[in-house]
Amino acid sequence: MRRTLVHNYRILSVLLLITASLLAGWSLWKLIARSGRREGLALTNEIGRVDAKPVDIPLAELDDAQDHLEEDVPPHSPIGVRGGDDFYHCPPEPFDFLRTHLGTSAQDALLRQQLNEWEAAWRKFGESTPPTPLEHLASQSSLSPQALLEAGRGLDFLAGNEMAACFFRAALSRASALYRNTSPGDPAALPFLRELEETAALWRIKDYSTLEKRFALEMALYPPLSAESRRAGFLHARAVYEDGRWEEAARAMLAVLEQDKQAGDMGSWARSDVGELDWWIARCFYSARQYGEAIPYFDDLLQTDSGRRKDGARLLVNCLNRTGRAQEAQAVARRFGFRAPLRSPTTTQPGKLRPEASGSPVAQHPSSTSAAALSPHNGS
C-alpha cells in the first residue's frame, strides 16, 4: 500500500510540473506578444511623424475600364480581343498627372483653373458632373491625345463615366487633327490606338456618336485588311446600328464582309465569326424593315453552328411571311420546332412592308421582338 501511494505521489508531481511549465510558457508568450504590439504601435507612430512621401503602388486592375464585352466581335485573331491584358496598365492619379503635363499657355491656364475648381467640389461634395466648358478647354489645350486618354481613364475610376467621357471626346477631337495625314499602319499611332481600347465608359453611357468617330479613326490608322482594322469596321457599323441608322449600318456591315473576303481568313481563328457576321447583317436589314435583304443572311446563319440559329430562324420566319413566302416560313418553323404565323402580310414589294394599322401583330417594329432574339451577346 505504501509503495502504491509513493508511486501515485510521483505521478502527481510530474503532472503538476508539466502544468506549471505550460503556464509559465503561456505567460512568457503573452508578455512577448504585448511587447511586440507596443513596439509596433511605437514604430507606426514614429512613421506617422515622418514626412513620408506617397508611393506609386498599382493596387488592382480597373476591371470596368477594361471591360471588352461590347468589343468582343469578329474577327477573333490570336492576339485576343482588342489587345486585352497584354497592353493594359493602371492609369495615373489624374489630378497630379494633368497638372504635371499642362503647359503655360492661356488655354492651359484656363483648363488648370477649371480642374482645380472641379477637384475641390469633388473632394468636398463628391461632384462628378463635368463643368460645361471643360471638354472644349481640354480639346484646345496643349495636352496630347494620349495624355487626355490617360487622364480620362484615371477620372473614370475616381469620378465616373461622364467625367471620363469628357476627356475621351477631347482626345478624339485632338487626334482627328493630329493624325489627319498619318498613313494607315504608321507605328507612331500605335500607342494611342492601344490607349483607345480602354474607353468602355463610352459604351456605358451609350455615346454612340463618339464611338462612331473612334472606330472610324481606328479604321483609318490600322493597316488595311488587318484584323484590327476589320474589327474596328465591325464596331463602327455596330455604333451606327445602335444610333438607329439601321440601313446605313447594314451597308457598313456588308463592307466589312467584303474586306473579310479579301483577307481570306474569316473563321480561321474562330468558327463562330462567320455566323456572327451573318447575324448582324441580317439583323441590321431586319431592323431597317428590309426583310427581303435580310433573308439570305438569315439563311446563311442557319448553315453555321452559331448559338444564334434558333433566334435567327424565328426572325427568318417573320421575314418570309412579310415577303409573301408563307410556305417557306412554315418549313423553317417546323424544322426548328415552333409555329409560324398562319397568314402572310400584304407587301408592296419584296423586302418592303406596307404600312399597316398600328397594333397589328405583323406590323410591329423589329425592336418589339424578344430581347433574347435581338441580344447582341446571345449565343456565340
Cis geometry, peptide bond prior to residue 75 (ω within 30 degrees of 0): yes
**Residue 289: pLDDT over 90:** yes
**Residue 266: pLDDT over 60:** yes
Name the H helices within the chain: 2-49, 94-101, 106-125, 134-139, 145-159, 161-178, 190-196, 201-204, 208-221, 227-242, 246-263, 272-287, 291-302, 309-322, 326-336, 371-374
Q: Among 247, 246, 260, which Cα is nearest to 73's?
A: 260
In angstroms, the CA 158 to CA 128 distance is 9
| pLDDT at position 348 | 38
Question: What residues contact residue 163 under an 8 Å CB cut-off, 6+ apart?
Answer: 128, 129, 130, 152, 155, 156
In angstroms, the CA 90 to CA 59 distance is 9
| pLDDT at position 278 | 95
| pLDDT at position 331 | 94
Counting Cα atoms < 13 Å in the Cβ hemisphere of 57 gives 4
**Residue 159: pLDDT over 80:** yes
- Amino acid (one-letter) located at 305: D
Q: Among 290, 303, 314, 332, which Cα is nearest to 369's?
A: 314
pLDDT tens digits along 118-158: 999 888 888 778 888 999 999 999 999 999 999 999 999 88
Report the predicted TM-score, pTM, of the whole model to 2 decimal places. Answer: 0.73
Size (the chain), residues: 380
Between 166-170, 252-256, 283-287, 367-371, the lowest mean confidence (pLDDT) is in: 367-371
Between 20-24, 141-145, 161-165, the lowest mean confidence (pLDDT) is in: 20-24
Name the average pLDDT for the chain.
79
Report the pLDDT averaged over residues 69-76: 84
The answer to whether residues 310 and 285 touch, using CB atoms and an 8 Å cutoff, is no
Between 10-19, 70-79, 360-369, the lowest mean confidence (pLDDT) is in: 360-369
Confidence band (pLDDT; 50, 70, 90) for 369?
very low
Assigned C-alpha cell, 353: 412592308
Between 142-151, 229-238, 324-333, 362-371, the lowest mean confidence (pLDDT) is in: 362-371
pLDDT tens digits along 321-354: 999 999 999 999 999 998 756 444 444 344 333 3
Counting Cα atoms < 13 Å in the Cβ hemisphere of 299 gives 11
Between 175-179, 189-193, 212-216, 360-364, the lowest mean confidence (pLDDT) is in: 360-364
Cα-based angle 233, 238, 243 (whole degrees, multiple of 5): 130
Assigned C-alpha cell, 261: 473576303
The terminus-to-terminus CA distance of the chain in angstroms comes to 89
Strand 352-353 to 347-349 pairing: antiparallel
Between 5-19, 102-116, 144-158, 165-179, the lowest mean confidence (pLDDT) is in: 5-19
**Residue 366: pLDDT over 90:** no
**Residue 205: pLDDT over 50:** yes
Burial of residue 357, with CB atoms counted within 10 A of its CB: 0-12 exposed, 13-18 middle, 19 or more buried: exposed
Share of the chain above pLDDT 90, in %: 54
| pLDDT at position 378 | 42
Confidence band (pLDDT; 50, 70, 90) for 370?
very low
The answer to whether residues 80 and 122 touch, using CB atoms and an 8 Å cutoff, is no
**Is the pLDDT higher at 182 or at 52?**
182
Q: Among 111, 377, 67, which Cα is nearest to 202's?
A: 67
pLDDT tens digits along 95-108: 999 999 999 999 99
